[in-house]
Structure 1
Amino acid sequence: MNFEPGEEQQLLAASVARLFEDHAAQLPVDPAAQWRDYRDIGLLGLPFAEASGGLGGGAEEVMLVMEAFGRALGRAPYPSSVLLAGRLLEAVGARDLLAGLIAGDRRPVLCLYEPGRRYRWDDPATAAERADDGWLLSGAKCAVLDAGPDSVLICPATTADGLGLFAVPPGTAGVTVDLLPTPDGRRAANVRFDAVALPADAGIGDPATNRTLLAAAIDGAIAATCAEMLGAMEKLLEITVDYLGTRRQFGVAIGSFQALQHRAADMLMAIEQARSMTIHAVAMLGAAGEERGAAVAAAKALVNRAARFVGQQAIQLHGGMGLTSEYPAGAYFQRLTVLENLFGDTDHHLDTVERAGGLKAA
């Protein structure tokens, strides 16, 4: 399978790569300023249709952006706020919330998973009941990536009519947000909703179709995560090969040892296999639900395995230096470890492929 970017796509990739590299070099980090940069360059509107106020970028453009994001170890909540929550808002027709996101004024995050339910999101224990002229929302969500006190929380909940989606503004009474650091240095939160009173218009979308639209948004975010992992693996291989060329033993660079050359070549082969499966997943994002889900799950399973292999080989080839906080290889290994379990581990995705009866041709 081949994926050759066009001229405009190459310009996009080069522009975002420069932006992400500049952000990675900034100390101290200014998250608000960096988010404005995302807005100014058009990234906040990139994946949305022009009719929705976006730029009409496709899945291929998102893949290029996320590869660059992974290479630079991007820390902005772009994947969670734009590529997951934002796409869901567009799909369900929440235009005001989407407009706020594109303008850089709001950062929605999707509260997807619940304690004790692993990667199941389609039958939440969190529930919303009609009350007077609005809703009462009760339940708990866990490991909400990039959630914070300023986030608009998009919460799936069971209602009498089906799967409801509720937009909970920052500072709403009854909402508890417990911030947690992630192993790769980002932010997540456990969120609790204690009989949260919401107005009637807090419910977005249609309970009859929300589950289908949410599944599509998650699949798109998984494909984007695969691209992010691909970029991180590529950069980690570059760091490793550079180290092999400079570290000397027995009077020569250890990169001259054939056994280590073979291990680097194996890392490259794993990355290229991951690239092919990621491209296949991107190509299948427009397919029907189960077919699309199987393609995306197969890609995530293979990319997960590649990421673990590449990460472990990189650390072993570096020796103890690979895990020091001052050296970048350890940071890439930590990011890949976190992303390996995002949206489901390898066994979860293989189960998804099996239930779908395997892969279909693109």
Structure 2
Amino acid sequence: MDFSLTEEQAMLRDSIDKFVRDNCDVETHRRVIKGEKGFDPGTWDQFAELGWLCMPFSEEQGGFGGGAVDLMVMTEAMGKGLLRVPFLSTAVTCGGFLQQAGDDAQQDRYIGDIIGGQAQWAFAFAEVDSGYDMARVSCRAEAVDAGFRLDGGKISVLNGHCANFLIVSALTVEGLSLFIVDTSLEGVRRKEFTAVDGSRGAHVEFNGVLLEAGQMLGEAGKAVSYIEDVLAKSIVAMGGEALGSMQVLLQTTVEYTKTREQFGQPIGKFQALQHRMADMYLKVEETRALLFNAAILLDEGSAEAMQACAALKVKIAEAGRLVSQEAVQLHGGIGMTDELDVGHHFKRLHLLGMLYGDEDYYLEKYMQLAG
């Protein structure tokens, strides 16, 4: 298995690294998460202008035809800068659903606006009693003369507060299905919330929302298979972001222990702290290995890809928790202040560890796939 990057991938990484160095710092992050949308629309427009929103889409759809490895390279560089743009929800997850299940008309109508940065999307799947089981849904789409009537509610829809469109899982007579819902439709109600890392979202209610037949995404009753395929690539994207974030925490912590003195010497000389930083390094490298493995297997279409993604999701949670907690503790009290990026990375890693399923959920999934 070749773990080296191509020349194009290295150039992509370097360009995003430069963007992060020039545009991303703690002060910018603090300002952005306190803004109306929780992200900077100007940065989103820059992503579109630079062609980064094209990456997940095929050349026929106006994209670059990037695979999981390309996506990994992008999000790792983004994770270093605490970039709060809805790239994961809009381009990766919802864009993935459009590619996986959308017909030609749906792809022609929606993908161009994602690539151009004109449209925001969100995946609405979680419900009050569903836990992480995406098939455990009470939201229903009843067939009517003109299409469907959607009733029910979804919680914790990241980016749902400003999304122009939602991809909603709902029960039909055939089973669990997916629908494209325009948030401007009558009967759609949103209540905004702020996640632990400052990301925004909404709890959404659907009260007799009328959908056209063409708003069903893919085949009726096939939502579970679509979700599994799309979330596998989303996990790789999250793994890249988590790896970038953990690398910053490790580097920041090592540098801090070289300058913080106690008992007349830098605390980095204390063997006990060296051991803890060595443990952080091991977790970063474990994450990197599982990330490369999952991305490459996905691009190869391997039968082992789903198992590799489940293992990666477990590692995102487990390693992210250890690295972030150690970084905070080794920085002392200042590690939890808003003035340092340490606490912000801590919160983001916590969210990534829980999103789409926590450590226990994916460990059980891994064991099921392993037979």
For Structure 1 versus Structure 2, the TM-score category normalised by the shorter chain is over 0.9
Which has the larger displacement, 54-63 or 292-301? 292-301
In structure 2, what is the Cα distance between the partners aligned to 1:122 and 1:354? 19
Structure 2 contact 71–236 (Cα < 8 Å) conserved: no
Pick from 249, 256, 276: which aligns with 1:236?
A: 249
In structure 2, what is the Cα distance between the partners aligned to 1:191 and 1:230? 31
Instruction: Report the AA paired with residue 115 of structure 1.
Output: V
Partner of 1:196: 209
Structure 1 contact 35–76 (Cα < 8 Å) conserved: yes
State the 1:213 CA deviation.
2.2
Partner of 1:31: 40
Pick from 122, 126, 130: which aligns with 1:109?
A: 122
State the 1:292 CA deviation.
2.8
Partner of 2:333: 320
State the 1:22 CA deviation.
3.5
Structure 2 contact 80–247 (Cα < 8 Å) conserved: yes
Instruction: Report the AA paired with residue 251 of structure 1.
Output: G
Q: Relative to 1, partners in 2 of residues 1:233 and 1:212: Cα closer, same or farther, differing over 3 Å?
A: same
Pick from 340, 344, 347: which aligns with 1:331?
A: 344
Pick from 75, 86, 91: which aligns with 1:77?
A: 86
State the 1:286 CA deviation.
4.7
- The normalised TM-score by structure 2 is 0.92
Structure 1 contact 123–158 (Cα < 8 Å) conserved: no
Does residue 298 (structure 1) correspond to residue 279 (structure 2)? The answer is: no
Partner of 1:4: 4
Does residue 16 (structure 1) correspond to residue 16 (structure 2)? The answer is: yes
Does residue 145 (structure 1) correspond to residue 163 (structure 2)? The answer is: no
Determine helix, strand or coil for the equivalent of 1:139.
strand
Partner of 2:170: 157
State the 1:322 CA deviation.
0.7
Residue-by-residue CA offset, 1:195-219 (whole Å, 9 max, x unaligned):
1112222222212544322210011
Partner of 1:65: 74
In structure 2, what is the Cα distance between the partners aligned to 1:222 and 1:129? 32
Structure 1 contact 134–200 (Cα < 8 Å) conserved: yes
Structure 1 contact 92–210 (Cα < 8 Å) conserved: no
Partner of 1:48: 57
Determine helix, strand or coil for the equivalent of 1:15.
helix
Determine helix, strand or coil for the equivalent of 1:233.
helix
State the 1:37 CA deviation.
0.5
State the 1:123 CA deviation.
4.0
User: How many residues of Structure 1 are paired with residues of Structure 2 in the alignment?
Assistant: 358
Instruction: Report the AA paired with residue 291 of structure 2.
Output: T
Residue-by-residue CA offset, 1:214-259 (whole Å, 9 max, x unaligned):
2100111012111111110000011101110111112211112222
Instruction: Report the AA paired with residue 64 of structure 1.
Output: V
Determine helix, strand or coil for the equivalent of 2:190.
strand
Unaligned runs of 5+ in 2: 33-38
In structure 2, what is the Cα distance between the partners aligned to 1:123 and 1:98? 29
In structure 1, what is the Cα distance between the partners aligned to 2:342 and 2:220? 45
Residue-by-residue CA offset, 1:144-188 (whole Å, 9 max, x unaligned):
111124431111111113332211113211111111011111112
Partner of 1:88: 97
State the 1:126 CA deviation.
1.0
Q: Relative to 1, partners in 2 of residues 1:162 and 1:80: Cα closer, same or farther, differing over 3 Å?
A: same
Pick from 286, 289, 293: which aligns with 1:280?
A: 293
Q: Relative to 1, partners in 2 of residues 1:152 and 1:302: Cα closer, same or farther, differing over 3 Å?
A: same
Which has the larger displacement, 280-289 or 190-199? 280-289
State the 1:281 CA deviation.
1.2
Structure 1 contact 126–157 (Cα < 8 Å) conserved: yes
Structural mapping, 1:213-228, within 5 Å: 213-228=226-241
Determine helix, strand or coil for the equivalent of 2:357.
coil
Determine helix, strand or coil for the equivalent of 1:109.
strand
In structure 2, what is the Cα distance between the partners aligned to 1:161 and 1:144? 25
Instruction: Report the AA paired with residue 11 of structure 2.
Output: L
In structure 1, what is the Cα distance between the partners aligned to 2:97 and 2:51? 19
Does residue 127 (structure 1) correspond to residue 140 (structure 2)? The answer is: yes
Q: Relative to 1, partners in 2 of residues 1:61 and 1:286: Cα closer, same or farther, differing over 3 Å?
A: closer
Instruction: Report the AA paired with residue 92 of structure 1.
Output: A
State the 1:50 CA deviation.
0.4
Which has the larger displacement, 346-355 or 22-31? 22-31
Unaligned runs of 5+ in 1: none
- The normalised TM-score by structure 1 is 0.94
